[in-house]
Amino acid sequence: MEKPKFEFDCRTCLYRWENFKTLTEEQLQLLCNHRYEASFKPGEIIFKKGSPTSSVIFLVSGMAKVFLEGLDGKSIIISIAKPGMMISGPGTYGDMRHHFTLTSLTDVKACFIDMTVMKQLVHLNSAFAEGLISDISNKSLLMYYKLVGLTQKKMPGRLADAILYLANQIYETDEFDLILNRQELGDFTNMAKESVIRILKDFEEDGLIESNCSRIKILDKPKLQMISENG
Amino acid sequence: MEKPKFEFDCRTCLYRWENFKTLTEEQLQLLCNHRYEASFKPGEIIFKKGSPTSSVIFLVSGMAKVFLEGLDGKSIIISIAKPGMMISGPGTYGDMRHHFTLTSLTDVKACFIDMTVMKQLVHLNSAFAEGLISDISNKSLLMYYKLVGLTQKKMPGRLADAILYLANQIYETDEFDLILNRQELGDFTNMAKESVIRILKDFEEDGLIESNCSRIKILDKPKLQMISENG
DNA sequence: TTAAAATGATGACATTTATCATTATTTTGA
DNA sequence: TCAAAATAATGATAAATGTCATCATTTTAA
């Protein structure tokens, strides 16, 4: 009986990131020899803005929030991380410092891959390098659209965006138990928690959603999309 | 007498981007064989959001504004481009479309380098690839800080940021003839042009700057920095 | 199970900032 | 050089949104 080259977790975890498929068996082995796992309880800091980065991170299971720590203790949630995404800040190829904080929202199992290995793979495999550039570019692109949304849309448009993002990108269903509280929803949409509550109520009264506390159900997606587009 | 390998413009223009210094003579030659130049008058579109990207751009001379076209015809100026910076959107390694527009602010001479050559260089030279990743990462980092500034600072803080950016990064002097008009200053700071005018006047009354029309002179930089930091 | 803590909800009010109308100034081009 | 166009300046007003105080509900942990 042949011994499997990699343990179960490694394969499933890593292979969810498309770009690892460009690697040869040997290169994948190199990667697996330099990976570490850690577990986190909800609300724990996985890495903190300002701390040194020496690895990129993949979630094996669970969800986390990626957020900028802004002025006066206010936060801006950039995105919700779930398994299969590479989480690496712009500091990874710059000043080697984290520029945002990653905090678990649920129980999280995370896989850390040493940056020196990532850089080695960039040298060894140009398809991998190109995939990495592509990944970073796409994240940058999302930031552009986030910037437009947060600065130019009014509150209902921003909140509609958030709900659609959660339904389409994160939960992949139109009814879900929200892991973000109202404050965090505010951090994601750049509004006060009170405003989140008020507009969520408006949406409910207009028959766009059904919401009681953490449960949200989208009732009229086309209308929600219209609000998102018209700001 | 030996014939120089590259014409004057190529060397000076390209070498201003640090990352081209990683190339061998042969690789630089390859690059120079696939570059094109074009001239633009003030206000002309160099490339437009939505159009296909097949090259990255370097300004040989002049300045241009990089801006997102947002909702209702409103713009967000991301940065001012000047010689030595690579201008390539996140679409270059993604959907091959531009996601922002580049417009000349002065007479501009621009140098276009074919993307296929850039990708070839990524394959041939891993130091170049790493430099490219680093460049893209740094731009992404600027976007993070732009997002925090535009969403969390109040108008005086945002305008102070803009003036300091222009003085430190663009003009590299504390007295300069602004090439942006009030509307564009508003597009850069996410405020209405009337608000720009009012706060600029406040700054002048408080002795922070001297400003008549396009000329701006910073009188009290530390105070301006304080306003920038405190939002 | 129950008290404490956290989160959610609501209304009154204040602040920030945009919009609109109008006038002044500067720039541009015949 | 001068009229037209573009840009800048100003004031009044309105809209969007945050803040604060308070109370209700839900969750947590002893």
Residue A88 pLDDT = 85
Interface contact flag, A76 B132, Cβ < 8 Å: no
Q: Which nucleotide is nearest to B180 (CA to C1')?
A: D7
The C-alpha atoms of residue B142 and residue B136 are separated, in whole angstroms, by: 10
Report which of residues B31 and B149 the model is more confident about. Answer: B149
Residue A153 sits at the chain B interface (C-beta within 8 Å): yes
A71 touches strand C (CB under 7 A): no
Q: How far apart are the CA of B186 and the nearest CA of chain A, in angstroms?
A: 12
Residue B50 pLDDT = 93
The C-alpha atoms of residue B120 and residue B176 are separated, in whole angstroms, by: 41
Residue B228 pLDDT = 95
Percent of chain B at pLDDT > 70 equals 94
H-run or E-run covering B155: helix B155-165
Residue pLDDT, tens place only, A57-105: 999 899 999 999 999 889 999 999 999 899 987 777 888 999 999 999 9
The answer on pLDDT for A6 being more than 50 is: no
Arithmetic mean of pLDDT, B73-81: 95
Residue pLDDT, tens place only, B14-40: 778 889 989 998 998 888 888 888 999
**Residue B172 burial by CB count (10 A; 0-12/13-18/19+): exposed, middle or buried?**
exposed
The C-alpha atoms of residue B144 and residue B149 are separated, in whole angstroms, by: 9
Highest averaged pLDDT of the listed ranges A109-113, B37-41, B221-225: B221-225
The C-alpha atoms of residue A120 and residue B126 are separated, in whole angstroms, by: 10
- CB distance B141 to A49 below 8 Å: no
Between CA A143 and C1' C7 the distance (Å) reads: 30
Closest residue in chain B to residue A133, using alpha carbons only: B133
B213 touches strand C (CB under 7 A): yes
The answer on pLDDT for A49 being more than 60 is: yes
pLDDT grade for B4, boundaries at 50, 70 and 90:
very low
Distance of CA B75 to the CA centre of its chain: 15
What CATH superfamily is the domain B8-142? Jelly Rolls (2.60.120.10)
Strand B86-87 to strand B45-47: parallel, antiparallel, or no bridges (unpaired)?
Answer: unpaired
Residue B74 sits at the chain A interface (C-beta within 8 Å): yes
Residue A40 pLDDT = 94
Residue A94 pLDDT = 82
Arithmetic mean of pLDDT, A2-12: 50
B190 touches strand C (CB under 7 A): yes
Strand C bases contacted by the protein (CB, 7 Å): 7-12, 16-21, 25-27
Q: Where are the domains of chain A?
A: 8-135, 153-229
- Among B93, B144, B231, the residue with its CB nearest the CB of A133 is B93
- Among A71, A90, A132, the residue with its CB nearest the CB of B144 is A90
Residue pLDDT, tens place only, A208-225: 999 888 899 999 999 999
- CB distance A90 to B140 below 8 Å: yes
SS3 of residue B122 by DSSP? helix
Residue pLDDT, tens place only, B181-208: 999 999 999 999 999 999 999 999 999 9
Which residues of the protein have their beta carbon within 7 Å of strand D?
Answer: A 154-155, 190-192, 194-195, 212-214; B 181-183, 193-194, 197-198, 200-201, 211-214
Between CA A43 and C1' C1 the distance (Å) reads: 27
Residue A198 pLDDT = 97
Residue A91 pLDDT = 74
The answer on pLDDT for A12 being more than 70 is: no
Between CA B159 and C1' C17 the distance (Å) reads: 14
Residue B45 sits at the chain A interface (C-beta within 8 Å): no
The answer on pLDDT for B45 being more than 80 is: yes
Closest CA to B25 of B5, B7, B55: B5
Which amino acid, one-letter code, is at A148? V
Class of domain A8-135: mainly beta
Arithmetic mean of pLDDT, A140-145: 93
Residue A159 pLDDT = 98
The C-alpha atoms of residue A116 and residue B1 are separated, in whole angstroms, by: 47
Residue A134 pLDDT = 92
Q: Which nucleotide is nearest to A180 (CA to C1')?
A: C7
Report which of residues A54 and B225 the model is more confident about. Answer: B225
Tell me the average pLDDT of chain B.
Answer: 90
Q: How far apart are the CA of A118 and the nearest CA of chain B, in angstroms?
A: 11
Report which of residues A8 and A15 the model is more confident about. Answer: A15
pLDDT grade for B42, boundaries at 50, 70 and 90:
very high
Between CA A183 and C1' D19 the distance (Å) reads: 15
* Architecture (CATH level 2) of domain B153-229: Orthogonal Bundle (1.10)
Kindly calculate the radius of gyration of chain B based on its CA atoms and give it in whole angstroms. 19
Two domains, one topology: B8-142 and B153-229: no
